[in-house]
Amino acid sequence: MTLHAELHRHLGGSVVPRVLWRYFDRHNAEMVNRFQEYSEFEEFYTRPRNTLNEYLELHTLVESVQTVETLPYFIYRLMRGAYVFENLAYLELRYTPYLRTPEHLEQSERIDLMAEIVQVVGKASQISDCPIVTSQILCMHSRLPYEVNRAIVDLAAGMREYVCAIDIAGGDDCIGERLEEFVGLYQYARSIGIKTTGHLYETTSGCYPELLPYLMRIGHGIQIPLKYPELLPEVARRGQCLEVCPTTYLKTGTLQDMRQLKVVFDRCFEAGVDIAICTDNAGLHNVRLPFEYENLLTLDIIDFRQLQACQNAAFRHAFAWPYGEQPAQMLNGLLQHESVGALVN
Ligand SMILES: [Zn+2]
């Protein structure tokens, strides 16, 4: 069996449509009444959008119901699904903690409540019958003020038992207007030993070479091999890994056909740039991680050897995988040891 590492999954987009529907059914009659039946809701929730910004709007729907009280409910279902149906051994869950605090409060009060959210998410994701190693990535947000983003970096520094890294999310086109600010925040994060990834080079309007040197991994980054392949040797030299989330690009209108990803994989393999295959928003897409792998294989975008290279890269670039070995090696030792024991007996 293969156990997977998932490096790029949003807490907001990780709720599968049926779990969200059940939640609305119990707690939000107004929402349920907008749809005739479940299938209509599922169609609305999972259908492709025209742009990344339109797609990100959907996150606000889930963010609004993920509060300090309800997060354990959603996270328990997420972990259970990830363990039973996805064979995850490792999961980095990312979100903007500020957006889980009550909207009506003052900014400073919301900032103060972020630590509680991180703790609730951390505790809720440790489930004894779903043994998955988990950690959190806190997302700065391209549309939130500097003070909030700075507080998010400080929170990551102060809660290392739950948090392994920071990210920048929220749409890549508006990063450019405040580029220096975000460069400064990443510099600050690195200076205090925080690990980093960032949603960059996802769409053609999100390409900022100025930020690249500060990232340890690149969230998506597909526009580098597609449009700026001359940057690949530098990316390889820095040991940066691309977090490629195949289904996303069809849902956001970034690509028209998944086969366009073949160039991404070919050029990265050639340049020695690692790729981790991820889901981004497994719930919103209704696509689980093993299927992302299988799909790439079926469409001849990667071959089996490349598939295994990506699986290994995911563990190698995991920010908080605590073992020197990958699960396959650990299980091999265990199972072989046991089978020898059985022979002796
Ligand atoms: Zn993402």
DSSP single-letter state for residue 225: H
Which are the contacts of 282, defined by CB distance < 8 A and separation ≥ 6? 9, 13, 14, 16, 86, 288, 289
Task: Give the model's pLDDT for residue 202.
Answer: 96
Report the run of H or E that residue 155 belongs to, with start and end. Answer: helix 146-158
How many angstroms separate the alpha carbon of residue 162 from the centre of ligand 1? 19
DSSP 95-141: E-GGGGS-TTS-HHHHHHHHHHHHHHHHHHT-BTTB--EEEEEEEEE
Which residues pair with residue 5 across a beta bridge? 90
Edge-to-edge strand list for the sheet holding 4-10: 4-10, 88-95, 133-141, 163-169, 195-196
pLDDT per residue over 276-314, tens digit each? 999 999 988 989 999 999 999 999 999 999 999 999 999
How many angstroms separate the alpha carbon of residue 8 from the centre of ligand 1? 6
Cβ neighbours of 262 (radius 10 Å): 15
> How far apart, in whole angstroms, are the C-alpha atoms of residue 91 and residue 51?
27
Residues with pLDDT less than 70, the chain: 337-345
Distance, first Cα to last Cα, the chain? 26
How many angstroms separate the alpha carbon of residue 94 from the centre of ligand 1? 8
C-alpha pair distances (Å), 16 with each of 22, 95, 246: 10, 16, 18
User: Residue written as tokens 């040891």?
Assistant: 337
How many angstroms separate the alpha carbon of residue 343 from the centre of ligand 1? 48
Cβ neighbourhood burial of 103 (10 Å; 0-12, 13-18, 19+)? exposed
C-alpha pair distances (Å), 146 with each of 40, 137, 175: 39, 18, 12
Report the run of H or E that residue 86 belongs to, with start and end. Answer: helix 71-86
> How far apart, in whole angstroms, are the C-alpha atoms of residue 172 and residue 170?
7
How many angstroms separate the alpha carbon of residue 335 from the centre of ligand 1? 36
User: Residue written as tokens 């509060």?
Assistant: 67
Cβ neighbours of 177 (radius 10 Å): 9
How many angstroms separate the alpha carbon of residue 80 from the centre of ligand 1? 21
Task: Give the model's pLDDT for residue 338.
Answer: 59
Cβ neighbours of 124 (radius 10 Å): 17
Tell me the pTM.
0.93
Which are the contacts of 294, defined by CB distance < 8 A and separation ≥ 6? none
Task: Give the model's pLDDT for residue 344.
Answer: 54
Domains, the chain, ranges and CATH? 4-321 (3.20.20.140)
Task: Give the model's pLDDT for residue 110.
Answer: 97
Q: Are 100 and 62 in contact (CB under 8 A)?
A: no
How many angstroms separate the alpha carbon of residue 171 from the centre of ligand 1? 9
How many angstroms separate the alpha carbon of residue 59 from the centre of ligand 1? 11
How many angstroms separate the alpha carbon of residue 222 from the centre of ligand 1? 12
